[in-house]
Amino acid sequence: MARPVTHDANLRSRLIAVASSMIDRDGPERFSVREVAQAADTSTSAVYTLFGSKADLISAVIADSFASFAEAQRAAEPGGLRALGEAYRSWALQHPDRYRLMFSGAVSTAHDPTDHTGELDALLPLARTLTGAAEVGPDVDLRSTLAVWAQVHGAVGLELAGVAPPWVDADAVYAAVLDAIAAVHPGR
């Protein structure tokens, strides 16, 4: 008789959410698999069964975050450049812990540094919108794509860091960033 599955997709998702929050709070070096398991109301063996190691759990959180972010970008893509920018900020504000982790440098230490699949999937909707290319590969110039990404990333990063004076309207600042981008890339 086969043993029933006790470590399902719901538990995996719960562990990723809990780990994301703890990594954001404590840092990727200091968070504890034991604390993650306890907060998710499961055992450390469940964490190790589902992910293999602490490093693999970090990789799973980052991969899951990039996949979710990429899905939000794909959903916004038909709306054009402004819709992509709005989806970018919306996702980041809804998932600040994951956003910070995705761009913290933990990516380079948590998985194969030559594998940029998650990052590329997240970038493709913007690249297709700006370049008009159906397929994006090494022959497509991505300078303007990365410049736009840097602009929205910078604005969102500053907002999440809370570095602006309290009387500055973050919505207005972000709208100004999107207006500046639209001025350089009209009709996109």
Q: Specify the 3-state DSSP secondary structure of 53.
A: coil
- Cβ–Cβ < 8 Å for 100, 159: no
- Cβ–Cβ < 8 Å for 64, 54: no
* Residue 135 belongs to a domain: yes
10 Å CB burial of residue 18 (0-12, 13-18, 19+) is: buried
| pLDDT digit string (tens) for the chain, length 188 residues | 544 446 778 999 999 999 999 988 888 888 899 999 999 999 999 999 999 999 999 989 999 999 999 999 999 999 999 999 999 999 999 999 999 888 877 655 555 555 556 688 899 999 999 999 888 888 888 999 999 999 999 999 999 999 999 999 999 999 999 999 999 998 88
pLDDT score of 4: 45
pLDDT in tens, 143-187: 999 999 999 999 999 999 999 999 999 999 999 999 999 999 988
* Residue 65 belongs to a domain: yes
pLDDT score of 108: 52
Which residues, other chains included, contact 2 with Cβ-Cβ below 8 Å and sequence gap of 6+? none
* Residue 4 belongs to a domain: no
| Structural domain boundaries enclosing 117 | 9-184
* Residue 85 belongs to a domain: yes
Domains identified in the chain, total number: 1
* Residue 3 belongs to a domain: no
Question: Residues 101, 13, 152, 175: is their CA dihedral positive or negative?
Answer: negative
* Residue 35 belongs to a domain: yes
* Residue 2 belongs to a domain: no
pLDDT score of 93: 97
User: Which letter does DSSP use for residue 49 in this model?
Assistant: H
DSSP string, 77-107: GGG-HHHHHHHHHHHHHH-HHHHHHHTSSHH
- Cβ–Cβ < 8 Å for 110, 28: yes
Q: What are the structure tokens assigned to 4, written together?
A: 């029933």
* Residue 108 belongs to a domain: yes
CA distances from 144 to 10, 70, 71, 119, 147 (A): 39, 19, 22, 16, 5
pLDDT score of 24: 85
pLDDT score of 174: 97
Query: 49: domain CATH number?
Result: 1.10.357.10
pLDDT score of 6: 66
CA nearest to 23, candidates 70, 65, 68 = 65
d(CA 38, CA 59): 20
